[in-house]
Amino acid sequence: MPPRASRGGVGGAAGARTYRAGPFAANRIGLNHSETIDLEHNLGKFVHHPGGNGVGEMNKLYFGDNLDVLREKIKDESVDLIYLDPPFNSDANYNVLFKHGGTVSQAQAEAFRDTWDWGDHAEHAYDDIIRANGDVALVVSGFRKWLGENGMMAYLAMITARIIEMRRVLKPTGSMYLHCDPTASAYLKVILDAVWGHENFRNEVIWKRTQAHGRAKRWGPIHDNILFYSASDKYTWNRVYEKYNQSYLDSHYRTKDGNGTYQSVTLDGPGTRTGSSGQPWRGIDPTRKGRHWELPPDRALPDWFKHPPGYPEMSVQERLDILEAAGIVYWPPRGKTPRYKRYLSASAGNPIQDMITDIDPINSQAQERLRYPTQKPIALLERILGASSNEGDVVLDPFCGCGTTIEAAERMKRKWMGIDVTHYAVTLIEGRLKSMGASQNSYQVAGRPVDLAGARELAARDKHQFQWWAAWRLGARWYREEKKGADRGIDGRMMFKNGPYGDGLIIISVKGGENVGVQMVRDLRGVIEREGAEMGILISLTDPTGPMKTEAAAAGYVSKSAHGRVPRLQIVTIEEILEGKMPKLPPLPQPDRIERTARRKQFKDQMELLLPFAGDKVGPAKGDFVDPSIMAFA
């Protein structure tokens, strides 16, 4: 399987857990703000401290389960804006999502089932929600009675547990945007109403994510849903505009005068008023038509118009006189009701609407494309951040994937926190930040093992991410991710220049279990023979046994080496790697940057293979994924 966007996990470390709701979330989920409840599940013990800044002056990128990070690392009411795009297979159909058992042949549906099958993790998340009590417990328990224990219910339990925590960490002036697709949006809307309050629902934003295409016996699905909620009615909101399209300009801005191109806009609005806005001007009484004078706001007036002293305190009729003298009032040749000239130079565009059609999806030729299956365009995130946050605000993306939210926040001078459960995503975001010129001192990566205890914790939490991290730590540039079936004994590869013998290949195999044996060394030796590799490195979390060392030594030395006597098969422990005691390796040149070329995918949610520049001899093997540290970012 290709590396996928963060699912966030549902499990965690063993031990009792303490949960306490923030003041705004407490009433909604049925807890007193000071109340704590002990949840005896495998999620660790997390204690919250109200108030304060969740990140201080340092931006944070967390590698780990976002539920654990939310509970343990992020303080109450410390975040100004949350955007989340939890992975969900848009192409999966209801027969798959609601399936209770059996097998599914479609590759995409199988990937979905791999992640969202009902099991212990989903059961634990569900129990957390029920113990939290309140409206959300009623909603989720009702869903379970109706849907049963299937992939959809597992997904809803997972996301609800995290939504509760997001409610706690958001400031009273904050907002949350949840990006989803129509398959689950109806369920999520009910859950969000229960957690956030239906009175805090602001919009369902529709984003046209693809061009028209046909589907048998139904309307073509071309949009995503973005559910917008605020923590209260006192939330941050900034006017953001979208550019006029050319057809609008051609049809509306057709008139010119000495001050520029303009369109005429009505000077009155519906409804009567008792003040000066309801009084006659130039013999025209708006009240007789059930209307009132509605003067243009300052932002709609051209720069060359200068307000005379006392303009805001003047009556509406006096201000109309001034606008008429300046040539801004327009008298149509037909009709008696005046209008005003809205100059194009004073028009920022249309205020953003809840239907986004002017931001295209990332296509195969897009400069920003990273081959990440859930990547969203940077313009979409910049629009959301522009509307619902200000410079210096803290932005959180708990499913940050390839880091588009992080890049948007960095560009727009926001503080940020990102969380992802995959090591690939974390290294990819580091590459994006580096390409932007962000200093490594401006952010911190948390959750990567820095000692043996941390490595053991990662191996216990997710053996696949442990394998990726260990291979990366050794210096691998290309990896494999195999969550189902045999990985053919390869967890990573390194290439080296071997003088007159051409390119040399080093196979990496990672073992994260506590029980190791000589058969592991024999298996790696067999992989070296099968792949025609020069060398093999076995990375072990546990110290190797005597027979393992003997077997490795029996493999001898590289037969054709331009770098002297180099052992053909070596064993190195995680502890040794962390201490800088690396195996004996030939010189490893810095690989050329990998060009992000377009190529056809077999499946729409597949992470695409990144190929090297033409003529570059050091590149990934078929089925490998490129380390983001050698990707060429725009």
What's the confidence (pLDDT) of residue 622? 52
Range in 236-240, 524-528, 605-609 the model is least confident about: 605-609
Q: What are phi and psi of 103, to 5 degrees?
A: -110, 155
Length of the chain: 634
CB atoms within 10 A of CB 7: 20
Q: Using the predicted structure, report yes or no on whether residue 284 has a pLDDT greater than 90.
A: yes
Helix H or strand E segment including 199: none
- What residue spans of 253-388 are helical by DSSP H? 316-325, 378-388
**Mean per-residue pLDDT for 8-31?**
39
Helices 463-474 and 452-461: angle between axes, nearest 10 degrees: 140
| Amino acid sitting at position 181 | D
d(CA 271, CA 286): 9
Question: Which of the two residues, 390 and 601, has the higher pLDDT score?
Answer: 390
Token couple for 530: 């099968």
Range in 106-115, 310-319, 575-584 the model is least confident about: 106-115
**Mean per-residue pLDDT for 203-226?**
85
441 DSSP 8-state letter: G
d(CA 357, CA 355): 6
Beta strands 443-446; 59-63: pairing state: parallel
Q: How confident is the model at residue 627 (pLDDT cuts 50, 70, 90)?
A: low
d(CA 423, CA 593): 20
Model pLDDT for residues 33-75, shown as the tens digit of each residue: 333 333 333 223 223 333 334 445 679 999 989 999 999 999 9
**Mean per-residue pLDDT for 569-591?**
88
Secondary structure E strands in 181-301: 201-208, 223-230, 241-242, 255-257, 260-266, 268-270, 291-293
Q: What is the largest CA-CA distance in the chain?
A: 106
pLDDT averaged over every residue in the chain: 80
d(CA 475, CA 508): 10
Secondary structure E strands in 165-240: 170-180, 201-208, 223-230
The contacts of residue 350 (CB under 8 Å, 6+ apart) are 241, 242, 244, 248
Token couple for 397: 């993306």
Model pLDDT for residues 550-577, shown as the tens digit of each residue: 999 999 999 999 999 999 999 999 999 9
Q: Which residue has the tokens 């546990």?
A: 542
d(CA 395, CA 519): 49
DSSP letters, 483-521, are SSS--TT-SEEEEEE-GGG-EEEEEEEEE-SS---HHHH
What's the confidence (pLDDT) of residue 38? 35
Q: Which residue has the tokens 């099991």?
A: 119
What's the confidence (pLDDT) of residue 102? 44
* Dihedral, 208, 213, 217, 221 alpha carbons, nearest 10: -20
Taking CB atoms within 8 Å and a gap of at least 24, the contacts of 14-18 are: 14/42, 14/44, 15/42, 15/43, 15/44, 15/45, 16/40, 16/45, 17/41, 17/43, 17/44, 17/45, 17/46, 17/71, 18/45, 18/46, 18/47
**Mean per-residue pLDDT for 104-126?**
61
Q: What are phi and psi of 413, to 5 degrees?
A: 60, 40
Model pLDDT for residues 439-456, shown as the tens digit of each residue: 888 899 998 898 999 999
What's the confidence (pLDDT) of residue 209? 84
d(CA 441, CA 418): 16
What's the confidence (pLDDT) of residue 217? 83
Range in 15-29, 117-131, 259-273, 410-424 the model is least confident about: 15-29
Range in 83-92, 223-232, 279-288, 297-306 the model is least confident about: 83-92
Model pLDDT for residues 188-213, shown as the tens digit of each residue: 999 999 999 999 999 999 999 887 77
* 3-class SS of residue 560: coil
Q: How confident is the model at residue 245 (pLDDT cuts 50, 70, 90)?
A: confident
